[in-house]
């Protein structure tokens, strides 16, 4: 006999307080006690059709949710794989063959050693290693890590998360356990937990925007008149810009399939608003081809952020392709490894080889324009021009959005934040005279 059930919907319009909610209390009082006749099914509706467009707003949503624990390992697995019919196996055997390295890679000679062997076993081993030092985990802050250390200064778990070798929920649970034991821990967005939540932030934003990976038709993205320079794009993608720090990063990416997140910041800013004024979509495509941890939502989201097209709008804060690398590797060891042409250049000019005289260049075994390219742009000049371009683009986007005309604004003085230089995003204003 069918049991008649009534469905009651209670809308929490302000907060989710349950213990002293009058309307909800009445429902419970009038309901029958039998659990098979009365079931509470919570449904969360968070800004339907919209996603949080700031990381902090996203965190406020996350704090209202509770993740279920990771499932225990099954003791046995059912035999769910049925044998393929012999005829099909023989007829289509080539479909199941693993491709060779030559088939996958156009220039396998450019590849370095495989630093990231795949599989769940390796992923779990790396997770255990990364989380073994609980003090390091609790005090981790991404801005304090090095983009150009010879050994990674972060966990490098991203390829394993991307391919599903490692459960994001497991990482979250393990981090939570450590943070409970260390109450004075770092916080998002810079903490390790914050790095994991960046992934979820971009997933959430991308879920409601089908054009998330392009400028046109993308509700998040500002419309910016980027230029087309195939020659500059190719030089950037292959590490031939004439800026050793930028070139070292792009060569590491091409050889190993991974670069530090702050190194991604440097090369993305250089390609887009910082120096080359090339669309973030072009950089996104190169990363899509080369990054082991390439993820559709994260890749597009980070490129929009770093080009100041969405999520981040302080376009006057520009990474220096010289000063940023010097900050964490004054000797240039990273450059020497990935740009071996410059191996004999001294620390004083390895980041700025154009400062070496022709005689010095010959002595160091690397003449610019012959053994290593000249700079394709002058950062001191172009980054200032690009700040003005961004200013104009922002102004036009505001006018389109609001329908109001704006007065002219002088943005030339906006490379300072609150009257102080920002150490990480400081634009290069080197006046020091060094002997090379």
pLDDT range class, residue 75, cuts 50, 70, 90: confident
Average pLDDT over residues 217-243: 98
Q: Which two tokens stand for residue 126?
A: 């790396």
Share of the chain above pLDDT 70, in %: 76
Name which residue leads in pLDDT, 101 or 118.
Answer: 118
Binding-site entries for FAD: 154-158, 195-202, 293-295
* Helices 230-237 & 244-256 angle (0-180, nearest 10): 70
| 3-state secondary structure string across 14-60 | CCCCCCCCHHHHHHHHHCCCCCCCCCCCCCCCCCCCCCCCCHHHHHH
Least confident of 7-16, 66-75, 172-181, 308-317: 7-16
pLDDT at 18: 58
Distance of CA 235 to the CA centre of its chain: 22
| Neighbour-count burial of 289, counting CB atoms closer than 10 A to its CB (0-12 exposed, 13-18 middle, 19+ buried) | exposed
pLDDT range class, residue 7, cuts 50, 70, 90: low
Helix (H, G, I), strand (E, B) or coil at 359: helix
15 CB-near residues (< 8 Å, 6+ apart): none
Binding-site entries: 154-158, 195-202, 293-295
Average pLDDT, the chain: 85
CATH of domain 112-207: 1.25.40.80
Q: Which two tokens stand for residue 36?
A: 């098979």
CATH of domain 212-436: 1.10.579.10
Name which residue leads in pLDDT, 70 or 170.
Answer: 170
Helix, strand, coil shares of the chain, percent, nearest 5, are 45, 0, 55
23-62 confidence digits (pLDDT tens): 767 766 666 655 555 555 555 555 556 777 899 999 988 8
Burial 215-249 (b: 16+ CB within 10 A, else e): beebebbbebebeebeebbebbbebbbbbbbbbbb
Pinpoint the alpha helices (H) of 54-211: 55-62, 86-91, 101-104, 120-130, 134-139, 158-162, 168-181, 192-207
Domain ranges of the chain: 112-207, 212-436
pTM (predicted TM-score):
0.80
pLDDT at 421: 33
Q: Which residue has the tokens 């100041």?
A: 308
Least confident of 97-101, 143-147, 233-237, 267-271: 97-101
Least confident of 25-34, 125-134, 284-293, 386-395: 25-34
Residues, the chain = 436
Half-sphere exposure of 239 (CA within 13 A, CB side): 17
pLDDT at 76: 72
pLDDT at 416: 30
DSSP state of 227: B
Q: Which two tokens stand for residue 248?
A: 């070292």
Rounded Cα–Cα distance for residues 401 and 413 (Å): 25
């Amino acid at each position: 006999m069918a049991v008649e059930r009534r469905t009651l919907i209670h809308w929490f319009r302000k907060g989710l307080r349950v213990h002293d909610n009058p309307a909800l209390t009445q429902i419970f009082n009038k309901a029958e006690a039998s659990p098979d006749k009365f079931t509470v099914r919570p449904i969360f509706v968070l800004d339907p059709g919209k996603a949080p467009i700031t990381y902090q707003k996203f965190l406020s949503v996350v704090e209202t949710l509770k993740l279920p624990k990771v499932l225990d390992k099954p003791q046995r697995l059912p035999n769910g794989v049925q044998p393929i019919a012999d005829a099909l196996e023989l007829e289509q055997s080539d479909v199941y063959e693993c491709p060779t390295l030559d088939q996958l890679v156009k220039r396998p000679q450019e590849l370095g050693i495989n630093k990231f062997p795949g599989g769940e076993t390796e992923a779990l081993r790396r997770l255990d290693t990364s989380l073994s030092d609980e003090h390091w985990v609790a005090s981790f802050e991404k801005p304090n890590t090095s983009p150009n250390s010879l050994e990674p200064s972060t966990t490098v778990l991203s390829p394993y998360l991307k391919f599903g070798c490692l459960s994001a929920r497991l990482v979250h649970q393990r981090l939570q356990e450590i943070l409970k034991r260390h109450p004075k821990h770092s916080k998002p967005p810079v903490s390790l937990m914050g790095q994991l939540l960046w992934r979820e932030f971009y997933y959430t934003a991308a879920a409601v925007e089908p054009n998330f990976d392009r400028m046109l038709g993308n509700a998040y993205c500002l419309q910016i008149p980027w230029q087309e320079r195939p020659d500059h794009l190719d030089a950037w993608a292959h590490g031939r810009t004439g800026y050793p720090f930028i070139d070292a990063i792009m060569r590491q990416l091409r050889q190993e399939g991974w670069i530090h997140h702050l190194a991604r910041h440097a090369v993305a800013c250089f390609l887009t608003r910082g120096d080359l004024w090339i669309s973030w979509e072009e950089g996104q495509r190169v990363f899509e081809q080369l990054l082991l941890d390439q993820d559709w939502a994260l890749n597009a989201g980070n490129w929009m952020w770093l080009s100041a097209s969405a999520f981040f709008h302080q376009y006057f804060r520009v990474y220096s392709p010289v000063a940023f690398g010097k900050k964490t590797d004054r000797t240039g060891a990273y450059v020497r490894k990935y740009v071996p042409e410059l191996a004999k250049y001294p620390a004083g000019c390895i980041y700025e080889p154009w400062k070496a005289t022709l005689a010095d260049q010959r002595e160091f075994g690397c003449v610019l324009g012959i053994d290593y390219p000249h700079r394709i742009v002058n950062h001191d000049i172009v980054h200032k021009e690009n700040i003005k371009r961004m200013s104009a683009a922002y102004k036009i986007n505001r006018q389109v959005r609001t329908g109001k005309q704006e007065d002219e604004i002088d943005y030339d003085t906006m490379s300072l934040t609150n009257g102080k230089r920002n150490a990480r995003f400081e634009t290069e204003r080197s006046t020091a005279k060094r002997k090379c």
